[in-house]
């Protein structure tokens, strides 16, 4: 954005500013929620030792809790994304954003690497579903005034998982390219001296770990969108059906 500004490219600067405005609630809301989950899992991994102060896992969990509150709570970020950034702008930002995701996937759909190819198809399907789901919500909002608020947090999380997958696909693409340029190496491993060979192995492992992490994101995290999708489309009536006085837990009355 700064480059566009420095070059006096007002249109380019505005375009990047709009992309950032769209991505900000997703990044802020989704990543702070995932941070809570990660810190909680760290306590769990330590077992009882995670709960006591020695390993500082509990300190992380307490510290990360504020992130989903200050500078905008998750619920407010979600309303900002779906209400202000998407619906009030007549769906334009989601159409443009998904267009960028389709363009990212397109060159990978016939790639020789089967993992990359499979995940490009997966992202393409999720992006198309995200866009259609948004249009469906827009239609529903015309007759149900609770539809946007009721769907917003699940919508934010679904947006976050798809965006996370898009980033990992980009990382995987870079890693696959790097691995392909190294194997077969122009210098056979046996001819490298020990230091070079160690460095070569280390870098290869680094790129392989990126590919494995991408597979983890697509296979273990992205399927969570199915539950969020179902919640987004669920009827809103149960949310507002209860009378205020029925929230009382004063069973003595
Ligand atoms: C340690 C700390 C430091 C802070 N530092 C700063 C600072 O430096 N500068 C500053 O400006 N502020 C600061 N804040 C304030 C912070 O910005 C607010 O706490 C935050 O914006 C949430 O507002 P609130 O506490 O009034 O909660 P509320 O607005 O009362 O929200 C309570 C709950 O209701 C939900 N909610 C509220 N409205 C809606 C809605 N319309 N639909 C659905 N759900 C809704 C919220 O998501 C939240 O879960 C700080 C807060 C803390 C705890």
Residue 242 lies in a domain: no
- Please state, rounded to an integer, the average pLDDT across all residues of the chain: 93
Domain final residue pick, 53, 72, 91: 72
Q: Is residue 243 in some structural domain?
A: no
Q: What is the pLDDT of residues 130-163, one digit of tens each?
A: 999 999 999 999 999 999 999 999 999 999 999 9
Is the Cβ atom of 204 under 6 angstroms away from ligand 1? no
- The ligand 1 atom nearest the CA atom of 66: 53
Domain that holds residue 23: 1-72
**The total number of structural domains that make up the chain:** 2
Question: What pLDDT does 190 receive?
Answer: 55
Average of pLDDT values for 2-18? 87
Say whether pTM exceeds 0.85: yes
**Span 25-80, pLDDT tens digits:** 999 999 999 999 999 999 999 999 999 999 899 999 999 999 999 989 999 999 99
- Which atom of ligand 1 has the smallest separation from the CA of 76? 47
Is 38 a pocket residue for ligand 1 (Cβ < 6 Å)? no
Ligand 1 mutation target, pool 64, 69, 78, most atoms within 8 A of CB:
69
Cα 139 from Cα 201, distance rounded (Å): 54
Provide the pLDDT confidence category of residue 193 given band limits of 50, 70 and 90: low
Average pLDDT over residues 119-127: 98
Percent of the chain whose pLDDT exceeds 70:
94
């Amino acid at each position: 954005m700064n480059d566009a500004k420095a070059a006096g490219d007002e249109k380019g600067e505005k375009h990047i500013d709009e992309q950032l405005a769209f991505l900000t609630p997703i990044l802020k809301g989704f990543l702070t929620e995932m941070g809570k989950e990660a810190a909680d899992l760290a306590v769990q991994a330590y077992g009882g030792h995670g709960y006591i102060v020695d390993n500082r896992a509990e300190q992380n969990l307490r510290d990360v809790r504020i992130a989903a509150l200050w500078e905008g709570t998750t619920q407010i970020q979600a309303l900002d994304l779906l209400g202000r950034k998407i619906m009030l702008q007549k769906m334009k930002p989601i159409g443009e954003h998904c267009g960028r995701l389709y363009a990212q996937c397109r060159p990978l759909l016939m790639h020789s690497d089967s993992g990359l190819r499979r995940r490009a198809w997966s992202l393409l399907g999720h992006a198309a579903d995200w866009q259609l789901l948004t249009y469906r919500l827009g239609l529903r909002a015309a007759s149900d005034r609770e539809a946007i608020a009721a769907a917003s947090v699940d919508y934010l999380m679904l947006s976050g998982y798809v965006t996370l997958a898009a980033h990992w696909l980009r990382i995987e693409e870079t890693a696959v390219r790097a691995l392909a340029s190294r194997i077969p190496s122009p210098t056979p491993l046996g001819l490298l001296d020990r230091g070079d060979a160690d460095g070569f192995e280390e870098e290869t492992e680094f790129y392989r770990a990126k590919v494995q992490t991408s597979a983890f994101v697509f296979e273990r995290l992205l399927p969570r969108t199915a539950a969020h999708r179902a919640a987004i489309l669920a009827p809103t009536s149960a949310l507002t059906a209860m009378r205020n006085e029925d929230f009382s837990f004063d069973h003595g009355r």
